[in-house]
Amino acid sequence: MKTVQLKKNKNTDWKYISKKLILKEPLVLVFGNRYLLESDTILGEVQELFKDGHIVFGSTSGDITADEVDDESITITAIEFEKSSFLIKTVNVLDSKEDSFDVGKALIDQFPKEQLKHVFIVSEGSFTNGSQLTKGMNAATQDNLLITGALCGDDARFEKTLSSYNENPKSGEIVAIGLYGDALEVSFSINGGWTPFGPERIVTKSDKNILYELDGKPALDLYKKYLGEKSNELPGAALLYPLKVKSTNDKHSIVRTILNINEEDNSMILAGDIIEGAQVQLMMTNVDNIVNAAELAATNANELRKKKSELAILVSCIGRKLVLDQRVEEEIEEVVEVVGEDTTICGLYSYGEIAPFIGEQHCQLHNQTMTITLISE
């Protein structure tokens, strides 16, 4: 495997941040600021650098390299697989009449299954139902395919996200990258670092990703009660106080971010589905817990490997970034220390993280986690 990385921001041209190499038909991951990706020239610029590249774009809430997390830039990570191959499929949810479940299933169904080791998802992140998307993708597998990825971000604006394959970034696009070959080794891990507090409550009224009532009372009223003065900062403050959600038929709890609130009906709009009967508890964290969780995720992903990783794709949540603030690079530094400086680091801060729980194969939509995918040939 060979990799090359470049970066640019609003006022600079492309600059190599790794050794310059000539790559043959590389997979080119382009993660960055949504405003910069809206440039009419962005596709042409990347094609000029990688004429035979397979170019995947995704907007972020911060793009990640080993050296920094940057809100106002675009980072290119180009990868030449020397012993393996890849195939890219797309679907646009704005063009499709199907729901997110059917879209996810149809997307994975497009891939020939022989020697398919891993699928990495770069998805629209503004209005896709990530819970249903992952359930649909699982329905297309026999729990023998690892799927990880991200719902794209738009800083903390939550206006719109962009993604595409070999065309200018656009709304509604979901890109799936399938990796093939016996030489591939892919491992992953996730960790959050959030701590529940306060009483557990039961979801007594919900509809898909809209939470109306807890214990028979308006959900938003209860949420505001626990936030106190911080409730005046909603919906932004909700990123710092997500919900722990445990369904009666699930083995694991899921962390759910609150994306928005509706004052008229006292409801909260979550990043993923929440079913009636689920148990819900508020969560909080601090910088040290977030950083320690990133280190633990990297350690777990590393321990599952036979060979040393060559590429690490990091997907972390915008909510974690807001908690870390000026110390945001610290969780990346912990990952680098674990996987080694000779592993190429790329990734993004997202609106949702896609990965299974550790020890499982069917993927889930997560919020407020660090998700690490390690790849080598």
Are 279 and 293 in a shared domain? no
244 & 155 share domain: no
Which of 283, 306, 323 is the C-terminal boundary of a domain? 283
Kind plus residue range of the DSSP H or E element containing 133: helix 130-139
DSSP structural state of residue 295: H
Q: Are residues 294 and 174 in the same domain?
A: yes
Structure confidence at residue 248 as a pLDDT band (50, 70, 90): low
**High-pLDDT (> 90) share of the chain, %:** 84
Are both 262 and 131 inside the same structural domain? no
In this prediction, residues 284-293 reach a mean pLDDT of 95
Q: How confident is the model at residue 249 (pLDDT cuts 50, 70, 90)?
A: low
**244: confidence class by pLDDT, cuts 50, 70, 90:** very high
Considering the chain, what is the average pLDDT of its residues? 94
For residue 357, the 8-state DSSP code is: P
The whole-angstrom separation of Cα 189 and Cα 342 is 20
Kindly report, residue by residue over 153-168, the tens digit of the pLDDT: 999 888 899 999 999 9
What's the CA gap between 160 and 91, in Å, rounded?
A: 17
Between CA 268 and CA 237 the distance in angstroms is 13
Range of the domain at 253: 195-283
Average the pLDDT over 114-121 and give the result.
Answer: 97
Tell whether 199 and 222 lie within a shared domain. Answer: yes
Give the ranges where the chain is alpha helix by DSSP (H). Answer: 34-37, 42-49, 100-109, 130-139, 219-227, 287-303, 318-324, 329-339
Cα–Cα distances in angstroms (integers) from residue 234 to residues 21, 206, 220, in the given order? 47, 20, 10
Mean pLDDT of 52-72: 97
pLDDT for the residue 158 = 85
pTM for this entry: 0.94
User: Strand, coil or helix: what is 24?
Assistant: coil
Q: What is the CATH number of the domain that holds 273?
A: 2.40.10
Residue after which a domain boundary falls, among 283, 317, 346: 283
CA angle 207, 213, 217 (to 5 degrees): 165
Total domain count, the chain: 2
Same domain membership, residue 186 and residue 52:
yes
179 and 311 share a domain?
A: yes
Split at pLDDT 50, 70, 90, the class of 297 is: very high
Residue that is last in its domain, among 283, 299, 329: 283
Instruction: Say yes or no: 256 and 345 in one domain.
Output: no
Same structural domain for residues 268 and 315? no
Same domain, 159 and 137: yes
**Based on the domain organization, do 168 and 202 belong to the same domain?**
no
Ordered strands of the 370-376 beta sheet? 69-70, 63-65, 344-350, 311-317, 370-376, 185-191
Instruction: Write b or e for each residue in 287-313: b if 16 or more Cβ atoms lie within 10 A of its Cβ, otherwise e.
Output: bebbbebbbbbbbbbbeeeeeebbbbb
Token pair, residue 232, equals 């005046």
- The first and second tokens of residue 39, run together, are 């440039």
pLDDT per residue as tens digits for the range 176-218: 999 999 999 999 999 999 999 999 999 999 998 999 999 999 9
The pLDDT score that the predictor gives to residue 242 is: 93
Q: What is the DSSP letter of 170?
A: B
Verify that 293 and 203 share a domain, yes or no.
Answer: no
* Residue whose C-alpha is closest to residue 59's, from 175, 166, 151: 151
Determine the pLDDT at residue 26: 98
Evaluate if residue 236 carries a pLDDT over 80.
Answer: no
Q: How confident is the model at residue 306 (pLDDT cuts 50, 70, 90)?
A: very high
Q: Is the pLDDT of residue 136 over 90?
A: yes
